[in-house]
Amino acid sequence: MTTTLITGANKGIGYETARRLVAAGHTVYVGARDAERGRRAAEQLGARFVLLDVTDDATVDAAAKTVEADGGLDVLINNAGIETRAEGNAVPTAETVTADQMRNTFETNVFGVVRVLHAFLPLLQRSAAPVVVNVSSGLASLAHLSDPDHPAHFYPGIAYPTSKTAVNMLTVQYAKAFPALRINSVEPGFTKTDLNGNTGIQTVEEGAEIIVRMAQIGPDGPTGGFFDVNGPLPW
């Protein structure tokens, strides 16, 4: 049976991804920094809960030990992420963004991914078909945001897209370093979740589709790529 860990899985796209993978037969760990919410989500899903705050070394290391003791890991989904918003759900722009806002966003979205990968790579390397899915964003595409004719061009924020572009680079570099693993970035689409103040236009079911799909690729699947539901995306 395939064992999967999803960070930030107690709500939103992470929760829906967990639901879908449980239904597909995976043993799923719901990683969450809030123990009460995480346990409740796991119970509702028929999954396992593991306390995991991607910004905290101690909880990440403890989670890795728990998963290892239970038998190991085949699929890691780095889903936990934040988008800094100001008063009125406004996105900090180039004019207003601060270094502290950038640092806070990177702590979860970038350093969190590295922290979790560092802790769980030894387990993944023991799997017969290890997979890593890094939840990125279409806003990470330099090609799209620099194209005046692309819908993403309008987005004025700095911290969130910069952090997700960094996640894409992590995907490329880790995929090169670990060719036996299938490591990819995915773009769920503009989904209605707490991350964006529920301003998205997609459902969580639609947003989870590409994550679920890439979590189930085999050893002959792609690696080091950036995908949405329609296929590869430009960097």
- Catalytic positions are 160, 164
The encoded tokens of residue 166 equal: 């960094």
Whose tokens are 């960097």? That residue is 235
Contact 25, 2 (CB under 8 A): yes
The count of C-alpha atoms lying within 13 angstroms of the C-alpha of 41, restricted to the half-sphere facing its C-beta, is 29
Within 4-110, residue ranges assigned H as helices are 12-23, 35-45, 57-69, 99-109
Of 205, 23, 55, 24, the closest CA to residue 32 belongs to 55
Whose tokens are 């728990």? That residue is 66
| Cα–Cα distance for residue pair 117/174, rounded to 1 Å | 9
Contact 155, 91 (CB under 8 A): yes
Q: Quick one: how many helices (H) and strands (E) in the chain?
A: 8, 8
The encoded tokens of residue 42 equal: 């796991």
Amino acid at 140: A
- Return phi, psi of residue 77, to 5°: -115, 110
